[in-house]
């Protein structure tokens, strides 16, 4: 049975299409990822599924309830950890959970049981009476996850749950998310722009760009789409004719350019490197550096969009800057 079913979901803001006719489903107990750069439409999708935004068109069912017709039932069935912190720093961890549980109308005896349960899950029992203003970034994120679980949701939305955290703390949060999904079997939708996060955590991933899904499958299958190894050639000289030459070779399954680097996909890449250098020399192009690796989700994103996820984010920042300062900064 599907915990979430999305049908042709679309959201427009003043002529801008943030989410463009998206359809997908998430099974019960699945950990599903929405991967893409900032501005791709991930948060807007989450906001529609959690009833914080009304779709322009289309519909979705969450825990069996329509997000357009059964908003209250949806809200009773979900938990959400927002991208921006939403804790009261002047309260203790326990007090934050107490207040949230009261908002859901949970009686006093049950509140105590559930608060003890979620604090133990995120390993904050010993810090529960400490003011949140004295928590580390990782502790705050764990407390927000605990708060999202207090009403025992069927579906939990995690919107960029490790944003701004250092690498070690981020990895610790991954462990808590994995534990939550594995032990409690809560259905989780996770948004992220960290490739390694999606690869590590998610059973299936939808890659979003410009409001659309450009790919959806398991991480291994997405990487298998590229067909073999990735050989990266850092070149000196005009690579235009060389790219055309590479594309004419039937054993090269893909060829893309990123600045001065050519990314080529092929089987048994280590055996093909000498031949690649010979072909480059034939076109008058020098190879300064060669790297061989297995395909990554970054390569998948590059394959489907023609740009890396970091390039997309840089483009979003520039578009936002232009909107704010259309005639230049003053």
Average the pLDDT over 168-173 and give the result. Answer: 86
pLDDT digits (tens, 9 = 90+) for 216-252: 999 999 988 887 899 999 999 889 999 999 999 999 9
Of 2-11, 59-68, 147-156, 208-217, the least confident: 147-156
Element (H, E) at 217: strand 212-217
Residue 173 has a pLDDT of: 87
> pLDDT tens across 96-119, in order?
999 999 988 899 999 999 999 999
Strand order in the sheet with 31-35: 78-81, 155-159, 187-192, 31-35, 204-209, 212-217
Q: Which of 208, 280, 228, 268 is nearest to 39 (CA)?
A: 208
pLDDT of residue 202: 96
Place 323 in a pLDDT band, splitting at 50, 70 and 90.
very low
The pLDDT score that the predictor gives to residue 329 is: 46
pLDDT higher than 90, residue 172: no
Q: What's the confidence (pLDDT) of residue 43?
A: 93
Q: State mean pLDDT over 282-292.
A: 94
3-class DSSP assignment, residue 12:
strand
Say if residue 20's pLDDT is above 60: yes
pLDDT of residue 33: 96
For residues 250 and 313, the answer to whether their CB atoms sit within 8 Å is no
Domains of the chain: 2-222 (3.40.50.300), 227-294 (3.30.70.100)
List, for residues 293-313, the tens digit of each pLDDT value.
988 898 888 888 877 777 766
Answer for the pair 303, 310: CB distance below 8 angstroms, yes or no.
no
- How confident is the prediction for the chain on average, in pLDDT? 89
| Consecutive H or E run containing 312 | helix 309-324
- pLDDT band at 78, cuts 50/70/90? very high
pTM for this predicted structure: 0.80
Going by pLDDT thresholds of 50, 70 and 90, the confidence category of residue 314 is: low
CA–CA separation, 194 and 217 (whole Å):
17
Query: In the chain, what is the greatest distance between 2 CA atoms, to the nearest angstrom?
Result: 78
Is residue 92 within 8 Å of 128, Cβ to Cβ? yes
């Amino acid at each position: 049975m599907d915990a979430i079913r999305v049908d042709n979901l679309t959201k427009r803001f003043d002529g801008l299409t943030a989410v463009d006719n998206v359809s997908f489903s998430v099974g019960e107990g699945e950990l599903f990822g929405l991967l893409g750069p900032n501005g791709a439409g991930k948060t807007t999708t989450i906001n529609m599924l959690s009833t914080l935004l009304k779709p322009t068109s289309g519909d979705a069912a969450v825990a069996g309830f329509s997000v357009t017709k059964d908003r209250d039932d949806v809200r009773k069935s979900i938990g959400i950890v927002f991208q921006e912190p939403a804790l009261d720093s002047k309260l203790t961890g326990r007090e934050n959970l107490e207040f949230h549980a009261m908002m859901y109308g949970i009686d006093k005896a049950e509140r105590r049981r559930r608060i003890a349960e979620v604090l133990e899950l995120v390993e904050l029992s010993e810090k529960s009476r400490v003011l949140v203003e004295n928590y580390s970034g990782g502790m705050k994120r764990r407390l927000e996850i605990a708060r999202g679980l207090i009403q025992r949701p069927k579906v939990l939305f995690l919107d960029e749950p490790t944003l701004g955290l250092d690498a070690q703390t981020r990895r610790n949060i991954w462990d808590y998310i994995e534990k939550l999904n594995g032990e409690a079997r809560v259905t989780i939708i996770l948004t992220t722009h960290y490739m390694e996060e999606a690869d590590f955590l998610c059973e299936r991933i939808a890659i979003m760009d410009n409001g659309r899904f450009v790919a959806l499958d398991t991480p291994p299958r997405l990487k298998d789409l590229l067909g073999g190894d990735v050989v990266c050639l850092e070149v000196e000289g005009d690579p235009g004719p060389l790219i055309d030459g590479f594309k004419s070779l039937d054993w090269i399954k893909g060829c893309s350019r990123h600045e001065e680097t050519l990314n080529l996909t092929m089987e048994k890449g280590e055996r093909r490197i000498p031949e690649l250098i010979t072909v480059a020399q034939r076109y008058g192009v020098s190879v300064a550096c060669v790297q061989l690796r297995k395909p990554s989700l970054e390569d998948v994103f590059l394959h489907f969009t023609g740009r890396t996820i970091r390039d997309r984010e840089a483009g979003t920042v520039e578009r936002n800057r232009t909107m704010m300062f259309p005639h230049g900064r003053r």
